[in-house]
């Protein structure tokens, strides 16, 4: 196989199958979600100066509702997955573990699940204590 | 020629490097950001609580650093997604980069404005 063919094979089918593909798709979806969240976040935090003390606290009251706490957990998952898979990508860019990228993927997922469990425990406790409305 | 094309399709060397550098900053920064807001202060989301945290210079500096790093990382990431599907002409790529830089700088200035009372101290 010539170098050119090998390159084509890598760029095409190699990326579009198996675990690496799913890691890539989820990484990208999480990334796009986080871009939108970033601008929403800047908007919400700026309410402190834009509208002041009262405006910000009114917005925060909504975020205490159960639906938003659960959405927060989705966000935590997006950050954890994107961040940890990102560590895997940086390591592979440095030439570390390219041949073991699947094992590294599952290691990232394990760390993400353990971290997520802490946040989920904390969030579910909050919902239970608060017992607030859905929305 | 081939490496040129390949490099373009990946968005450029400096963008790649900055994406990695900001990634490392964000991993460390968000760990601190999420633990201090969601674990240590869960259920205490309020203006006073945030103002109290921002009274410390460490958190203000952290927030400004995170703002710059995350804006670069997010907009360059968005650029990479867009370039994967659209805008193959060089002039279009330049226009996209310029537009994203304008959005990023505007958002950074807006963020600094929002944090100004605490930056001023």
B19-28 pLDDT per residue, tens: 999 999 999 9
Q: Quickly state the pLDDT bin for A1 (edges 50, 70, 90).
A: very low
Residue A56, in any domain of the structure: yes
What integer best gives the mean pLDDT of chain B?
Answer: 86
Q: Which whole-number Å values give the CA distances from B57 to A72, B54, B88, in the listed order?
A: 27, 7, 45
The two three-digit tokens of residue A116, written as one number: 């997520």
Q: For the domain that residue A74 is a member of, what is the CATH number?
A: 1.20.1300.10
pLDDT at A12: 45
In angstroms, the separation between the Cα of residue B5 and the nearest Cα of chain A is: 13
Residue A2, in any domain of the structure: no
Express each pLDDT in A81-111 by its tens digit: 999 999 999 998 888 888 888 888 999 999 9
Number of structural domains (chain B) is: 1
Locate tokens 């971290």: which residue? A115
Tell me: pLDDT of B8 over 70: no
Locate tokens 């500096």: which residue? B61
Contact residues, A window 12-51, toward B, CB-based 8 Å cutoff: 28, 31-32, 34-35, 38-39, 42, 45-46, 48-50
Tell me: pLDDT of B61 over 70: yes
Which phi and psi (to 5°) does residue A2 adopt? -75, 165
Express each pLDDT in A5-43 by its tens digit: 555 545 444 555 688 888 999 999 999 999 999 999 999
DSSP state of A100: G
Angle between helical axes of B90-120 and B57-85 (0-180°, round to 10): 170
Number of structural domains (chain A) is: 1
pLDDT at A101: 83
Half-sphere exposure of A59 (CA within 13 A, CB side): 16
**Interface predicted TM-score of the whole assembly (ipTM), two decimals:** 0.87
Q: For the domain that residue B93 is a member of, what is the CATH number?
A: 1.20.1300.10
**Domain extent at residue A37:** 20-130
Using a CB–CB cutoff of 8 Å, tell me whether A120 touches chain B: no
The two three-digit tokens of residue A55, written as one number: 């405006």
The length of chain A in residues reads 135
**Domain extent at residue B55:** 2-120
CB contact under 8 A, A31 and B38: no
Cβ-Cβ contacts under 8 Å, A50 against chain B: 114
Cβ-Cβ contacts under 8 Å, B78 against chain A: 32, 35
């Amino acid at each position: 196989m010539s170098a050119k063919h090998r390159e084509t094979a890598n760029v095409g089918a190699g990326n579009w199958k198996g675990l690496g593909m799913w890691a890539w798709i989820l990484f990208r979806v999480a990334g796009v979600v986080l871009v939108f969240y970033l601008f929403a976040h800047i908007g919400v935090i700026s309410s402190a100066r834009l509208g002041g003390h009262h405006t910000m606290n009114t917005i925060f009251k909504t975020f205490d509702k159960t639906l938003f706490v659960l959405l927060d957990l989705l966000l935590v998952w997006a950050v954890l997955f994107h961040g940890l898979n990102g560590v895997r990508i940086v390591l592979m860019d440095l030439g570390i573990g390219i041949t073991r990228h699947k094992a590294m993927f599952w290691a990232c997922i394990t760390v993400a699940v353990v971290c997520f469990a802490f946040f989920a425990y904390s969030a579910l406790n909050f919902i239970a204590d608060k017992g607030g409305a859905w929305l | 020629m081939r490496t040129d094309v390949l490099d373009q399709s990946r968005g450029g060397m400096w963008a790649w490097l900055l994406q990695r550098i900001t990634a490392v900053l964000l991993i460390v920064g968000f760990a601190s950001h999420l633990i201090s807001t969601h674990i240590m202060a869960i259920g205490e989301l309020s203006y006073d609580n945030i103002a109290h945290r921002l009274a410390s210079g460490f958190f203000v500096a952290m927030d400004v650093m995170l703002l710059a790093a995350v804006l670069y990382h997010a907009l360059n990431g968005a650029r990479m997604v867009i370039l994967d599907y659209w805008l193959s002409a060089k002039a279009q790529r330049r226009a996209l980069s310029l537009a994203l830089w304008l959005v990023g700088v505007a958002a950074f200035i807006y963020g600094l404005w929002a944090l100004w009372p605490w930056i001023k101290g």
